[in-house]
Amino acid sequence: MTKKSPSVRRAALLASAVAVLGLLTACGSGDGTASSPSTLPGTAAPATDGTTTGSDSASPTAPSSGSDTASGSGTTTPSGAVSASGSASTRCHTFQLSATVGRNNPGAGQENFPIVLTNKASHTCTVRGYPGAAFTDASGKQLGPDPKRSSGTPGTVSLDPGQSAWAGLTFSNPEVSGAHAETPTTLLVTPPDERDSLKVKWTGGPVPVSGNSSSVFLTVFSPGTGA
């Protein structure tokens, strides 16, 4: 048998190592990115987005940058009033709020419920834009898609301790529209620009979850309780 010189053997080993490295590289993902995280239902989109009708839902997105503080205009908003330019108060965070669903005010085949957020903190804070919302069953499974946004002009609502703001939750009565319906046990409510939700017991009966006229809509926040 002919013996190979040390330089020939080293060259052969190097070629083998390069081939293995190329094989490992080919087996990788190639894009260098991690998989997308799973999303949670009922998370509010940034309240500072432009408003649209129908196509925008309150799906999970990151809070808009700089939304924790006011616009810096130096103007203040009276308690419970709405300002189009912002407020000097700090935005309300989920842990500072309590949520309730007010009494239904039905009309023309529509069900209309006010979602009410109340400031339980010891200082003034503000809400602006749309809440996030999602119906869930007893196991926590979401029923139907996230609600859509009705057209509207967001204004900053300044809440002193104990004051409230409300946003409308409206949908066609399933018995009238013929949409497939289910009865939730809970409504998840997420304040504007927040990711953590508040759980509210749902006592409003069946809601549309699929089929024709099954969309649920949300309105912008206004001062008061919507009563």
Tens-digit pLDDT string for the chain (227 aa): 445 444 444 444 444 443 433 433 333 333 333 333 333 444 444 444 433 333 333 333 333 333 333 333 333 344 455 443 344 459 999 999 999 999 999 998 999 999 999 999 999 999 999 999 999 999 999 999 999 999 999 999 999 999 999 999 999 999 999 999 999 999 999 999 999 999 999 999 999 999 888 999 999 999 999 88
Q: Could you tell me the pTM of the whole model?
A: 0.65
Per-residue model confidence (pLDDT) at position 213: 86
C-alpha to C-alpha distance for 105 and 113, rounded to whole angstroms: 6
Per-residue model confidence (pLDDT) at position 226: 87
Residue whose entry in the numeric block shows the structure tokens 């949409």: 179
Q: List domains and CATH numbers for the chain.
A: 82-223 (2.60.40)
Nearest 5°: the CA angle 104, 167, 86 is 160
C-alpha to C-alpha distance for 185 and 76, rounded to whole angstroms: 40
C-alpha to C-alpha distance for 142 and 136, rounded to whole angstroms: 4
Per-residue model confidence (pLDDT) at position 64: 34
Burial of 80 per CB tally in 10 Å (0-12, 13-18, 19+): middle
- The sign of the dihedral angle between the CA atoms of 153, 148, 116, 109 is positive
